[in-house]
Structure 1
Amino acid sequence: MTKKYAKFLPSSEDFNLDDFPFYWITQVHAQYVLNVDHVLKKFGVDNSRRRLLVALETKPDASVSELSEMIVSKMSTTTKIVYRLKDEGYVETYSCPNDARITRVKLTEAGRQMTSKINDLMGVVLEQSFEGLTPLQIEKLMESLKHIFRNLSH
């Protein structure tokens, strides 16, 4: 380990939890999920369903494995979410015409309407989250988080 990162690691002699970046990443994520779940509760949708619906909106007719990668979830968990959403009428599944082993997922009209409602509610949470930050600060934050994600992904 290099000294330049020592201050941020729990093994440091003068470690302070407030200096550990992943503490704040998990704190922010946990609070975000709590706020999102609270807002979505009135629609009977939880955060895992929201993530999949929004991912599917950005990549229509995605395969279950593509959705799994997009929402950073195990394939078995993603499959369970897909079939819950299917039972609720928000998505349909079908076999890929080119390769029947691949299951593709698409939003139904009810799924598109729910995703639209979710996006409206997410706007409220987003504004609350970033109050006091400039768009440039948010862009810089996203650049840093993407960089860290790429570092951890290989």
Structure 2
Amino acid sequence: MDAFMSGNPGDSAFRVKRYPFYLLNRLVSRYNSIIDQRLRAIGLDIPSWRVLMILGERSPRGAREIAEAAVINLSTMTRIIQRMSAAGLVTTAASQDDARVTLVALAPLGESQLAQARQATAPVYAHLIEGLDPQDFEKLIVLLDSLHDNLEPLAPKAG
């Protein structure tokens, strides 16, 4: 059986367990259910954790940039940021360069929550990659990026 055909939903040889999107969804669902429990124990949800992790790389950032990095639509991200701002995790301000851009920055409480979230989720990541060869892990990252890039021409254009 052709390896590609067994993952093609348009082929009679299709097998769910050979379909990359099933496997990715299964992985993400399992991961989210595990970290959700750990994050809730420290007073965070997954969307807030995503924002904190993104801002942990660089802060401040524009709300649109955070939404894209978190893979969350902008209107939903705006509500998440408003909720996080009200909780004292982030601060918001209009960009001095472009008043239409809302800059979001980690507040001191957000930095503290980020540190707790990293401690809570790091063991899950360590367990996830246990036994993987570093070259295999790098190949996985490259392959996932390639699959994403292959879909880019088919993605709906914002407008």
For the superposition of Structure 1 and Structure 2, which TM-score range results when normalised by the shorter chain? over 0.9
Compute the displacement of 1:153 (Å): 2.4
Matches within 5 A, 1:11-50: 11-50=10-49
Q: Which amino acid aligns with 1:145?
A: L
CA distance in 2: counterparts of 1:123 and 1:84, whole angstroms:
25
Q: In structure 2, what is the equivalent of residue 148 of structure 1?
A: 147
2: distance between equivalents of 1:26 and 1:20?
10
Cα separation, 2, equivalents of 1:18 and 1:124: 27
Post-superposition shift, 1:4?
6.8
Task: Tell me, yes or no, if structure 1 residue 88 matches structure 2 residue 87.
Answer: yes
Map 1:1-154 → 2, pairs under 5 A: 5-154=4-153
Length-normalised TM-score, structure 1: 0.93
How many matched pairs? Answer: 152
> What secondary structure is seen at the aligned counterpart in 1 of 2:97?
coil
Secondary structure of residue in 2 paired with 1:45: coil
CA separation of 1:4/1:130 partners in 2, compared to 1, >3 Å: closer, same or farther? closer
Partner SS for 1:101:
coil
> What is the distance in 1 between the residues matched to 2:39 and 2:112?
14
Partner of 1:43, secondary structure, is coil
Q: Secondary structure at the match of 2:96?
A: coil
Counterpart-to-counterpart distance in 1, 2:3 and 2:14? 14
Amino acid at match of 1:79: T
4+ residue stretches of structure 1 with deviation over 3 A?
A: none
Q: Distance in 1 between matches of 2:69 and 2:96?
A: 22
Gaps of 5+ in 1: none
The letter for the 2-side match of 1:33 is: N
Unpaired stretches in structure 2, ≥5 consecutive residues: 154-159
- Tell me the distance in 1 between the aligned counterparts of 2:63 and 2:111: 18
Q: Partners in 2 of 1:75 and 1:114 — Cα distance?
A: 23
SS in 2 for 1:105: strand
With normalisation by structure 2, the TM-score equals 0.90
Deviation at 1:37, TM superposition (A): 0.1
How far is 1:5 from its partner?
2.8
The CA deviation string for residues 87-135 of structure 1, in whole angstroms up to 9 with x for no partner, is 1110000011121111100001111111111112221110121122122
Using the aligned pairs only, state the percent identity: 28
